[in-house]
């Protein structure tokens, strides 16, 4: 609780984190973008009703869109609530979009959302320019993680 209050006091409140993206992709570069949201979507984000699994960003006719993000319905809105999985426009500078479009056209690059957060009261998404991992890359990462854990466990026992 104290950590959440600390994060809010700095003007930063994490809403959702896409940990699976770091497992499935090599992250080349990360950047921040604003989102165009309706009022009920903002309320649902503040209630942490969001899922980033299987979501990505797409650049279409010079504009960036977030696709596949599930923002749950905000119950008090009833029938006037938003569509939960609609495409959401991202707010970025044109030069950024054009640079990313050039990278995404290359083979193997994707735009993947890493996290959604509030920064000074505005909803932001952290996008990553990422290259997909193969199955053997994932196995290597898991093996390294396991050996690091084992070493830490042994070292912890030696200090006594």
Question: 151 lies in a domain?
Answer: no
Question: 32 lies in a domain?
Answer: yes
Q: What pLDDT does 160 receive?
A: 60
pLDDT one-digit tens code per residue, 29-72: 999 999 999 888 898 999 999 999 889 999 999 999 999 999 98
Chain centroid to Cα 133, Å, comes to 17
Three-class SS of residue 11? coil
Angle at 59 between CA 53 and CA 60, to 5 degrees: 120
Are the C-beta atoms of 133 and 108 separated by less than 8 Å? no
Tokens for 141? 């990462």
Q: How many domains does the chain have?
A: 1
Domain range for residue 63?
Answer: 2-133
Are the C-beta atoms of 111 and 56 separated by less than 8 Å? yes
Question: 158 lies in a domain?
Answer: no
Question: 124 lies in a domain?
Answer: yes
Distance CA 22, CA 31 (A): 15
Q: What's the pTM value of the predicted model, to 2 decimals?
A: 0.76
Question: 33 lies in a domain?
Answer: yes
Q: What pLDDT does 145 receive?
A: 87
Distance CA 70, CA 53 (A): 8
Residue with tokens 């649902």: 44
Three-class SS of residue 127? strand
Query: Residue 159: which pLDDT band, with cuts at 50, 70 and 90?
Result: low
CATH classification at residue 72: 2.40.280.10
Distance CA 10, CA 145 (A): 32
Question: 76 lies in a domain?
Answer: yes
């Amino acid at each position: 609780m104290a950590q959440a209050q600390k994060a809010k006091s700095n003007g930063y409140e994490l809403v959702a984190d896409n940990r699976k993206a770091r497992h499935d992709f090599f992250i080349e570069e990360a950047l921040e973008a604003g989102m165009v949201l309706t009022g009920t979507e903002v309320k649902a984000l503040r209630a942490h009703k969001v899922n980033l699994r299987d979501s990505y960003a797409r650049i279409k006719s010079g504009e960036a869109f977030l696709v596949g993000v599930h923002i749950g319905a905000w119950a008090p809105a009833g029938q006037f609530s938003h569509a939960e999985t609609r495409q959401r426009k991202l707010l970025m500078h044109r030069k950024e979009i054009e640079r990313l479009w050039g990278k995404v056209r290359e083979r193997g690059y994707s735009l993947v959302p890493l996290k959604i957060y509030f920064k000074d009261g505005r909803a932001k998404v952290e996008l990553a320019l990422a290259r997909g991992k193969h199955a053997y890359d994932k196995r290597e990462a898991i093996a390294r993680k396991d050996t690091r854990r084992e070493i830490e466990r042994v070292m912890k026992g030696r200090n006594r």
